[in-house]
Amino acid sequence: MLRIIAIFCALIFLPCHAELLINDAVLRLLPPGVPNTSAYIELVNTGDKPEVVVSVTTDIARSVEIHNHVMDGETMHMERQEELTVAPGASVKLMPGGLHLMVFGLNQALTGGQAVRFYLTTKTGLVMPFDAIVVRP
């Protein structure tokens, strides 16, 4: 009987298994009164199909956007990315000077060590909550 229950549970929960992992999530602590900051994470695709991130949200800010630093001649600027694809079996590290999450319009003060809840949404509609730890740059 236990074996039947275990097989039943595996069949029900198997499709819910996320093939996109979120590691090392941090949120940059800036001086009080600065309304925008950035967050960094590592995305790991353990599946055999591309995973496409289409949005990230949090309750502590007005909006979150995926950005990348891009060179335009001799000038570097940030450019919003509409989505971020993680190839099968690959990882993408969002970090300073490259891909990152811009957090706009903070609606509360941050403190070092605080855990802030974010929600990542994929193109397939999967919503993945994760906590980013507030750290000093």
> Using 50, 70 and 90 to split pLDDT, how confident is the model at 70?
confident
Q: Concatenated DSSP letters for 53-73?
A: EEEEEETTEEEEEEEEEEEET
| Whole-prediction pTM | 0.84
Smallest Cα–Cα separation from 53: which of 97, 13, 100?
100
> Using 50, 70 and 90 to split pLDDT, how confident is the model at 74?
confident
Lowest mean pLDDT: which of 41-55, 66-80, 111-125? 66-80
> Using 50, 70 and 90 to split pLDDT, how confident is the model at 76?
confident
Q: Phi, psi (5° rounding) for residue 14?
A: -60, -45
CB 11 within 8 Å of CB 3: no
Q: Concatenated DSSP letters for 100-126?
A: EEEEEEE-S---TT-EEEEEEEETT--
Span 56-64, mean pLDDT?
Answer: 98
CA 40, distance to chain mean position in Å, is 7
